[in-house]
Structure 1
């Protein structure tokens, strides 16, 4: 898979813009109502409104894979390494997730005044992008003194402190805000070289000026972030029917498969110099300075002028290890332990190491909108500017062998150097330059009649790329020695996105919905990182949906069928030769995906205090035009099932509140998920489970306890590394493989306060 470990795919949700098309990579409880809560009259539910742009009744941060990122919302497509889009103050937290992952600079925090889930049609209309997005707003200054915070710990020693204070500076409308977030998370497994898997610090400071006569406000905020994160994989024995068995010397989710000294040896692709990099600390750390100026002002003619601007300056370093394959070696194979030279026989793991030295990234963004209610129309016009510069991004590569077990040791083999590494910079990456996106867009929420509502929008964007890359093949030991090896990039693309949603009440409680969404994109600068010029044909994603809704005081239900197609997808696979597992190859593939789906979602409130959210999705995402060559052979996986996406998804979220107590649970079901491109390997169906209780001590203090994976599921999920080309599963029964997994049984405790 591309670049990094797969997060766990999460269950899809039904929002007012229907979901069913269901999404790899990686939080959530009940849906408020798929078509928004119906307005009530004395006669009961009358009409459906579509003015809400967010679904705020979802715990998007409930992630079964880790404590650092939001869960992904499933849309029937493989997710990216970056996971769900994260917006902060109406602008992306980072312009592009690679190499600066959003969780390096953004976390759920009391330093955020509001967090919600932006619907797909709104993301298409306002950003021109496909999918869902977490939409968050920073805590601004307040006219009264406010202090809020949260302390979280877990049964594995997780420590997270989060505090924000805000209040007045003067009587003429000036206020301040200050916040600090610190995360020290050892996760659920023990590294051999560091206590914490994730260390992240975020500091915020700012001032807000409130205009007279409640005309609006303007805020100037500064944020500094510093973060590193180490990924992990599980080793397991693969068996029939997609089931996996734990090894005696490796507990899934409890043990580390990261080499025990955390050191990787690289060769700089720009200079040719060899160096060592660490998985923790400075060699894997990203820091960023962020300045936001945002607010709104109510004009005399009734139009609300809203603005948000951001300057983001970061320096990114990143160390990554990806397991590729496991094979057995006897004593004659010539493997020795790097630490002491002792001969080794047994299971040997092949690892791909990647390191990005310090890379400066600059992004400047601004959004400016005008909004007004004009009769039965709620109209918004906007302009969005996004500038991005990355200075000489490189991904240096090497390979090495290690023992198979908890905290494995590095091995020296017959084809490695004296430190155990080989194939330096085979498949190494380089690109440098700028991207610029300028967009204009408009939306209208039109109440045509009491029973008929239309919501529509159009987004027009110019996307330009200006930079350099290289067509020189990245052979073993490669580095750039000739300035003429670089080729200029100068591209400009015009892209269209938009949506049309209609709801019609046949009766005061029952109606029909129809939705259409369309987005376009072309390649990014990052697509030029390998030694070829990528296909820049337009990527088109049309989605159509048709369904019904039923709203009463006790139930809000939606059932909808959806069709989605996306063409010209690009993915890079670290392939392993099924005939010789010591051979690996990086291959780029272009392909299409199409999905048919049907989702039913309801919220049930049968009696006071009790709430039940239920979601079920049936979908059939398949590859189209999926052809490539590797190891001298041609492959065609058209009509195969999409990797890591379940065909049946289910979510059950009951909760009950009584007096000062609230009890809740969340059950997510994933049917069989294919784990390699041939669909020969798959993981058995699984449940992800969460549960918790909260107690309100008083109006200022709340206590909470959460249990993740309370059924203690210990299986694997995602994809199986190095197994993409396997066509017959039976020889792999009993073999050792690697993959991603959900967190083991974990308890978390929190104390929140708000004064």
Structure 2
């Protein structure tokens, strides 16, 4: 009985054990089925880790992001097949199907695409993000768009960006880029490098140069060629903290890098500018990997170009090119890039055309839009600024000769726990040598009434003390010897004209602008990023040092005929005794070495900055930042002018010791150099709140206060030590508010951005003379304030798979809150006074900018038609007249001849319309150099006067053949 009981208990326990064991097996089996883990790694085509990529199990809420080494893991997955969706900004989203469990790590490669890159923002933000998530006003010109354009300059690429006004009418260099109504410049001379004062032109995230002004404009060293991958254009407040000394905007030209496989592009471009003047250009770029792992790549590219220009003076207006290269090594969590550039290029700029009718501007009778008055390239000569100085050669055919040698090193590294560090360093040596002729005014014959400027009053012992010059003046064509003009003076004010047949009854009076600038420059930017949860913190420092040797002056004054490709005028005076005095060089120059200024200075710039981006809930993102700027100009200056003449040399006949060669008699005395130290400190701030309505829509509001130190032209402006002592300028201050609504879908996007911008501390100083003291002086600075209210609209509509329309519209109302300036009156300081005007106009700033570009693209061909409209703008601050509105139509057609060969045909300015972009008043020199002084009453008193106009460039044709090796 007991035995049976024991057996029964044992059986029961055995059964229970089996049940427990079976249950445990089932649980283990279930856990194996429902708690699997999947591990993987996200990489790019160069096997580099992609950090922060999104990895989502399709059809579920399960997801994660890749870590510092690109690795990720997904837990609690069911056994079987799952589909993963992997995405990252700038890369095409990839879906992969994998089995769970996997014995090895899943490797997923993402590929960059142009379409994805269009959505990516790297400029104007401290962290890379999609455009829909970025609270900045930014537009991108992609590689696809770049292939269809035929820009006249690097700046010209920006002309269809909303809120941006580009004046590229002068040629390939010396352009203007202004943003949201910031002041522009009425170029009378040929130095417009301050046309980039409020913005930063960048290459791969660093400014082209620390400096603007004084012939050191960034576009002298910036070229768009085969190296260019895309352009990112930021307008508005975020630039105050993400860029150095650039409150108006950032324009970043991003370069190509090599890929894992060898690729090359050869481009030949031939065309005609101004209808018939030939243009030739060749680009070559190639790159690939250098090792088996394909984690070391290279890219080399450059161009050579020669063109006669739209207005041909008899010698090439653009001649030269550049080479750029980079070497990239990627490694776990980062990369290092070594890059370099060599540029050697000569560039000319276009001058004014004679115009009539202020209300409806027309080229004066007898002239056409392809005429040029830049002067003969034969006018070469040697001159000196002062008697014991070196001899300098002036050669107009050398134009603006720009050179740059640059080398840089960029480093990026991501660490565990959310840390990332990057540093970008470059050293460059830049130089610009100017040999430019530009028109100061147009004179007319009738010497009895007006006199040829500066001829009868030429500096010489005969005229310095009021002694009448007696004799016969003869004006000849220096190239042909034909005599155009002859007049005899028998006593002061008594003339007798025997010959008067100058072409078009007039002559050109101009200057030979001689500038010699050398810059050694270091730029370095360090950034440290820290990811804390979903917040990103950025700490950074920017350092720039520019050592500048800056010589500026006038090689002399020149006279030439008033006609297309003018001939120099040879002027001489024959005394009654038969002695001949040569007033000009054989090629029309006189008063050689008339002005000189020399500055040796160092510009030091140090910025420290901080930025934070943090989500607030699921919909809001807050970003804000500060930037502290320290700018210093320290150096020595010496300046000479006609108030410091070398009288002994003058009476001795100049530095050639011949009193009968009058053109070299004027010589200057070297002054005692003076030193200066100008320091500017400022703090900028910007903050924005972005609200993401959904994945396709968002709005943001941004408030910014940015400051800007004076440029180098303001530092080198003082002509005497005394004026230098009080010509200290306050930093310019920009206050900006912008609100934006963004819609972005697969077939449509729209960005609407109302803005308000106020610019204060706009300094003005007059350069005046005191004939009693026989000196020149600068008046103390006075300040103005202006504001601009407007709205920007940018849209891109994909109407069908092949048909697309892109458009931009800017409406703005720029006004001066108040404008202060000096009225220097008569020579001397006694009657100098400050005038203040309220609600003055902002000159040359259009109220309407509009462009629309429909395009049609297939696998075989593409075509587009771009129409751009620029509204009317005030001619000067006091509304003497309005510059007429103008438009331009550009056409492009591309055809893929084979898989590797592509042809593009472009017509710029199809209808050959000319818009006036700059002007000078009638009346000749010196009135021509003072457009701000021209009044409405003067215009009404002489409505048929001939005045000078700088215009957009005439029609041009280009054919481009590209061959891709891959």
* Global fold match (TM > 0.5): yes
1:342 maps to 483
SS at match of 1:515: strand
1:639-677 deviations in Å (ceiling 9; x for gaps): 321121112222222222234322222222112223344
> Per-residue deviation at 1:186?
1.5
> Per-residue deviation at 1:68?
2.7
Q: Distance in 1 between matches of 2:120 and 2:788?
A: 20
Counterparts of residues 249-288 of structure 1 (less than 5 Å): 250-252=367-369, 254-261=370-377, 263=379, 267-268=384-385, 275-281=392-398, 284-288=400-404
1:19 maps to none
2:125 maps to none
Q: Distance in 1 between matches of 2:443 and 2:376?
A: 20
1:93 maps to 208
2:865 maps to 665
List alignment gaps of at least 5 residues for structure 1: 1-30, 37-45, 577-583
- Judged with a 3 Å threshold, the aligned counterparts in structure 2 of structure 1 residues 395 and 443 are, in CA distance, closer, same or farther, namely farther
SS at match of 2:416: coil
2:510 maps to 351
- Judged with a 3 Å threshold, the aligned counterparts in structure 2 of structure 1 residues 497 and 372 are, in CA distance, closer, same or farther, namely same
1:239 maps to 357
- Judged with a 3 Å threshold, the aligned counterparts in structure 2 of structure 1 residues 423 and 204 are, in CA distance, closer, same or farther, namely same
> Per-residue deviation at 1:424?
5.5
Q: Does 1:130 align with 2:247?
A: yes
Counterparts of residues 549-698 of structure 1 (less than 5 Å): 549-550=742-743, 554-570=747-763, 591-623=784-816, 624-630=818-824, 632=826, 638-698=838-898
2:321 maps to 201
Q: Distance in 2 between matches of 1:575 and 1:188?
A: 37
Q: Does 1:68 align with 2:261?
A: no
On the 8 A contact 2:355/2:949 being kept in 1, the answer is no
On the 8 A contact 1:460/1:497 being kept in 2, the answer is yes
2:340 maps to 222
- Judged with a 3 Å threshold, the aligned counterparts in structure 2 of structure 1 residues 433 and 35 are, in CA distance, closer, same or farther, namely closer
On the 8 A contact 1:120/1:130 being kept in 2, the answer is yes
> Per-residue deviation at 1:119?
4.3
SS at match of 2:278: coil
Please say which of residues 177-186 and 260-269 is displaced more in the overlay.
Answer: 260-269
* Alignment partner of 2:951 out of 720, 733, 741: 741
On the 8 A contact 1:574/1:585 being kept in 2, the answer is yes
SS at match of 1:626: strand
Q: Does 1:293 align with 2:409?
A: yes
1:104-148 deviations in Å (ceiling 9; x for gaps): 332111223443324444432222312233312344444322212
1:497-536 deviations in Å (ceiling 9; x for gaps): 2322223356776664322222112334432323232232
1:676-704 deviations in Å (ceiling 9; x for gaps): 44421332110022221222345543321
SS at match of 2:219: helix
Counterparts of residues 463-542 of structure 1 (less than 5 Å): 463-470=631-638, 475=643, 481-482=669-670, 485-505=672-692, 512-529=699-716, 530-531=718-719, 532-533=723-724, 534-542=727-735
2:569 maps to 411
1:39 maps to none
2:13 maps to none
On the 8 A contact 1:277/1:355 being kept in 2, the answer is yes
SS at match of 1:527: helix
2:271 maps to 154
> Per-residue deviation at 1:206?
4.3
- Judged with a 3 Å threshold, the aligned counterparts in structure 2 of structure 1 residues 325 and 372 are, in CA distance, closer, same or farther, namely same
TM-score normalised according to structure 2 size: 0.66
Please say which of residues 500-509 and 342-351 is displaced more in the overlay.
Answer: 500-509
- Judged with a 3 Å threshold, the aligned counterparts in structure 2 of structure 1 residues 263 and 120 are, in CA distance, closer, same or farther, namely farther
On the 8 A contact 2:238/2:704 being kept in 1, the answer is no
Counterparts of residues 422-501 of structure 1 (less than 5 Å): 422=590, 428-470=596-638, 475=643, 481-482=669-670, 485-501=672-688
On the 8 A contact 1:354/1:397 being kept in 2, the answer is yes
Q: Distance in 1 between matches of 2:242 and 2:203?
A: 14
- Judged with a 3 Å threshold, the aligned counterparts in structure 2 of structure 1 residues 337 and 303 are, in CA distance, closer, same or farther, namely farther
SS at match of 1:158: strand
1:10 maps to none
Please say which of residues 714-723 and 641-650 is displaced more in the overlay.
Answer: 714-723
Q: Does 1:177 align with 2:299?
A: yes
> Per-residue deviation at 1:277?
0.7
- Judged with a 3 Å threshold, the aligned counterparts in structure 2 of structure 1 residues 674 and 163 are, in CA distance, closer, same or farther, namely same
1:377 maps to 535
SS at match of 1:228: strand
Q: Distance in 1 between matches of 2:766 and 2:942?
A: 20
> Per-residue deviation at 1:388?
0.3
> Per-residue deviation at 1:395?
3.0
List alignment gaps of at least 5 residues for structure 2: 1-116, 123-129, 147-154, 160-167, 186-191, 452-472, 486-501, 574-581, 647-666, 770-775, 827-831, 922-927
- Judged with a 3 Å threshold, the aligned counterparts in structure 2 of structure 1 residues 206 and 271 are, in CA distance, closer, same or farther, namely farther
Q: Which has the higher strand share?
A: 1
1:465-511 deviations in Å (ceiling 9; x for gaps): 2102247766375877456x222112322222232222335677666
On the 8 A contact 1:501/1:515 being kept in 2, the answer is yes
1:710 maps to 910
On the 8 A contact 1:183/1:200 being kept in 2, the answer is yes
- Judged with a 3 Å threshold, the aligned counterparts in structure 2 of structure 1 residues 275 and 121 are, in CA distance, closer, same or farther, namely same
> Per-residue deviation at 1:231?
1.0
- Judged with a 3 Å threshold, the aligned counterparts in structure 2 of structure 1 residues 615 and 169 are, in CA distance, closer, same or farther, namely closer
1:333-353 deviations in Å (ceiling 9; x for gaps): 456135137233422222132
Higher alpha-carbon Rg: 2
1:729-751 deviations in Å (ceiling 9; x for gaps): 13443332222111112111212
Q: Distance in 2 between matches of 1:206 and 1:161?
A: 20
Q: Does 1:78 align with 2:208?
A: no
1:527-585 deviations in Å (ceiling 9; x for gaps): 23232322322211111223544555554334343222222334689999xxxxxxx99
- Judged with a 3 Å threshold, the aligned counterparts in structure 2 of structure 1 residues 65 and 174 are, in CA distance, closer, same or farther, namely same
Q: Does 1:111 align with 2:211?
A: no
1:709-755 deviations in Å (ceiling 9; x for gaps): 11210343223362432212134433322221111121112123333
Q: Distance in 2 between matches of 1:311 and 1:319?
A: 27
Q: Does 1:391 align with 2:549?
A: yes
On the 8 A contact 1:676/1:719 being kept in 2, the answer is no
On the 8 A contact 1:360/1:391 being kept in 2, the answer is yes
Greater relative contact order: 1 or 2 (C-alpha under 8 angstroms, separation 6 or more)? 1
SS at match of 2:700: strand
- Judged with a 3 Å threshold, the aligned counterparts in structure 2 of structure 1 residues 179 and 744 are, in CA distance, closer, same or farther, namely same
- Judged with a 3 Å threshold, the aligned counterparts in structure 2 of structure 1 residues 367 and 510 are, in CA distance, closer, same or farther, namely closer
Q: Distance in 2 between matches of 1:52 and 1:696?
A: 37
Q: Distance in 2 between matches of 1:299 and 1:166?
A: 29
- Judged with a 3 Å threshold, the aligned counterparts in structure 2 of structure 1 residues 191 and 472 are, in CA distance, closer, same or farther, namely closer
On the 8 A contact 2:904/2:961 being kept in 1, the answer is yes
TM-score normalised according to structure 1 size: 0.83
* Alignment partner of 2:736 out of 543, 550, 554: 543
Q: Does 1:56 align with 2:195?
A: no
- Judged with a 3 Å threshold, the aligned counterparts in structure 2 of structure 1 residues 450 and 426 are, in CA distance, closer, same or farther, namely farther
1:226-250 deviations in Å (ceiling 9; x for gaps): 11111112323320414223432x2
* Alignment partner of 1:401 out of 556, 559, 563: 559
Please say which of residues 700-709 and 266-275 is displaced more in the overlay.
Answer: 266-275
